[in-house]
Amino acid sequence: MKIILTDVGRRYNREWIFKHINYVFESGRSYAILGPNGSGKSTLLKVLSGSLTPSAGNISFELNDKTVEVEKIFEYLSLATPYVELIEEFTLREQIQFHFKFKKYLSGYSEREVVHLLGLENAIDKEIKYFSSGMKQRVKLALACCSDSTLVLLDEPTSNLDRAGEEWYLALVDKTKQADRLFIICSNQEKEYLFCDQTLSISDYKS
């Protein structure tokens, strides 16, 4: 997967959140989008996911040297963000089964493996609404990383996680990174993107 941004900008009303971004994201690498809270990281992530169109410039997607239409990009991505919620009325089993009706499992993973990875075998038939915030965050991250998706987008991945949870998250990424995958992390905490080999600072695109 290759994502090409050409002079991309996004604004709300008359205020530019960012502009003049010229950048290329490529599979086989992991990228961190950096900036303080409210700087526009999540907005850029939405543009990269195809859920927001740029106010200026152009974004294009390529896979195996073929263009992927922006309307189809959702087929190739998985994401975990604060603004995409789990279905509270589902049990963990139902949530996993529902998610994987739309996504294939990453090679080597299955419903059993995902539950084991989460360490929630005893809560598989418990409704999500009774999970702690940390448990919910782990479920979001596991669903995103264990999906057979070329593009993985994570926004504030360690929110609601304690230190053990943070270590679990880093191990999860390490286990699920593959040569043909593209990870993009939105963060303002270095511990969340230690594994990233490229960074993009939103602050560089404010004027």
**Confidence category of residue 178, pLDDT binned at 50, 70, 90:** confident
How far, in Å, are 145, 152, 187, 205 from residue 39 at the CA level? 26, 21, 11, 10
Instruction: With CA atoms as reference, report the closest residue to 55 among 107, 119, 11.
Output: 11
Q: Which domain holds residue 13?
A: 2-205
- In the block, tokens 């511990």 appear at 191
| % of the chain surpassing 90 pLDDT | 95
pLDDT at 94: 98
Taking the C-alpha atoms of residue 123 and residue 10, their distance in angstroms, rounded to an integer, is 42
Q: Is the pLDDT of residue 207 over 90?
A: no
Single pTM value for the model: 0.95
Taking the C-alpha atoms of residue 92 and residue 117, their distance in angstroms, rounded to an integer, is 13
pLDDT at 19: 96
pLDDT at 157: 97
User: Which domain CATH number covers 27?
Assistant: 3.40.50.300
Number of independent structural domains in the chain? 1
Sheet order of strands, 2-12 included: 15-26, 2-12, 56-63, 66-68
